[in-house]
Structure 1
Amino acid sequence: MPPKKKPKKTKKTTKKIQERIAAGDNDLEAKYRRGVLDIAILQDHIALQCESVKMVQSDRIDLRRRMRDMEQKLEHERQDYRDVNSDFSRQYKTMQIELTNKVKRLETEVNELNEELALCQEVLRREKRERQQMEQEKDATIADLRHKLDNMEIDYEKILHDTLDSLTCQLSVARQGLEDKSPTLHQNYKGLLSELGQNALEF
């Protein structure tokens, strides 16, 4: 394509162009100032943003460090929890085994004691029966002895009465005999005393 021909400049056009250039210079200066101001504002904004970014990065680093510390602490706590849980589980199993053994031992002791109690109760029942039997036999023996004693008392009383009656009769007969023989005996004794030279009235 052939180059376009430039239009011819007239005085009017040149003046307008000069006015436009002057106005453009004023606009350009204003734009320049505005641009410098905008740049300064942008630089301040960028500086603030950089400061904010630095603070954010510092906070992020600090947060990461704290997060690592918290993770380590959490891991330690988890390990402690696992250790404590393991220890508790071991203690629980040990206590459960000990308790189970103790329960078995106590059940064995209870069974043995129940057997001993049953034997003791049987012995006690047997001894009670024997004691009741002995008491019954003793009561029967006592009753029999009392009966015999009562019979013996009656017999002895009868014998005593019979004996006393017999003695009374014999004494009565002897007395009668002595009374009958008494004068003769006195005479005989007096005679004997006289022969011996004794006075019978002295005796």
Structure 2
Amino acid sequence: MLNAALNSPLNTKDALTCLTKSENELEAKYRHSILDVAILQDHIALQRESVIKTQSDRIDLRRRMRDAEQKLQHERQDHRDVNCDLSRQYKTMQAELTSKVERLEKEVSKLKEELALCQEELRKERRQHEQLEKEKDSTVAVLQHKLDNMDADYEKILHDTLDSLTSQLSVARQGWEDKSTTLHQNYKELLSEFGLNALDI
């Protein structure tokens, strides 16, 4: 049809105009199509970059999630280990404390028994001491009474002895005086026989 229009002399100008117009339209459509293709390619490139970035982000996020899960797993394990260790330490401390409390209770019970025995012994000692004090006071009183009696007896004996000695001394003095007078008289007589005066001697 296009060839028939070109072969007709009357329609050559119109045909050329139509052809030019068609070419322009085709060129415009072509350019528009190229532009659309370029835009679509740019859009696809952007979408691809976005997809690549999204995939990269997804991979990075998954990696980070795995790291976080591993870290969380390690922390949970550490937490379990710490809990187990603390539980073991607590049980050990509780056992030691229970043992210490039982030992202290036994020691307290033993000390209470010893204290009771000591208090009983102290009561016995006090009773014995009080008994000894009473016996001592009684003995001292008896001895004091005997001593007082002995003092009285000794004083009486002393007075009797002194009285006896005084009497004996008086008798002896009288005898000595009598003997002295007799001796003195005998000496005077003896001196007189020798012609001596006793007063001159």
The bucket for the TM-score relative to the shorter chain is 0.7 to 0.9
TM-score normalised to structure 2 length: 0.74
Q: In structure 1, what is the Cα distance between the partners aligned to 2:129 and 2:21?
A: 148
Task: State the AA in 2 paired with 1:184.
Answer: T
* C-alpha displacement of 1:168: 0.8
Structure 1 unaligned segments of length 5 or more: list them.
Answer: 1-14, 195-200
- Equivalent residue number for residue 30 of structure 1: 28
- Equivalent residue number for residue 166 of structure 2: 168
Structure 2 unaligned segments of length 5 or more: list them.
Answer: 1-12, 192-197
* C-alpha displacement of 1:72: 1.9
- Equivalent residue number for residue 7 of structure 1: none
* C-alpha displacement of 1:26: 4.2
Superposition pairs of residues 49-128 of structure 1, within 5 angstroms: 49-128=47-126
* C-alpha displacement of 1:124: 0.9
Q: Cα distance 1:20–1:132, how it changes in 2: closer, same or farther (>3 A)? A: farther
Q: In structure 2, what is the Cα distance between the partners aligned to 1:31 and 1:137?
A: 149
- Equivalent residue number for residue 3 of structure 1: none
Per-residue displacement from partner, 1:119-174 (whole Å, max 9, x unpaired)? 01110111112112212222232233223223322321222122112211221122
Task: State the AA in 1 paired with 2:109.
Answer: N
- Equivalent residue number for residue 141 of structure 1: 139
Task: State the AA in 1 paired with 2:57.
Answer: D
Task: State the AA in 1 paired with 2:96.
Answer: E
SS at match of 1:183: helix
RMSD: 3.1
Moved more, 122-131 or 95-104: 95-104
Q: Percent identity of the aligned residues?
A: 71
SS at match of 2:162: helix
- Equivalent residue number for residue 184 of structure 1: 182
Q: In structure 2, what is the Cα distance between the partners aligned to 1:136 and 1:38?
A: 137
TM-score normalised to structure 1 length: 0.73
* C-alpha displacement of 1:20: 7.7
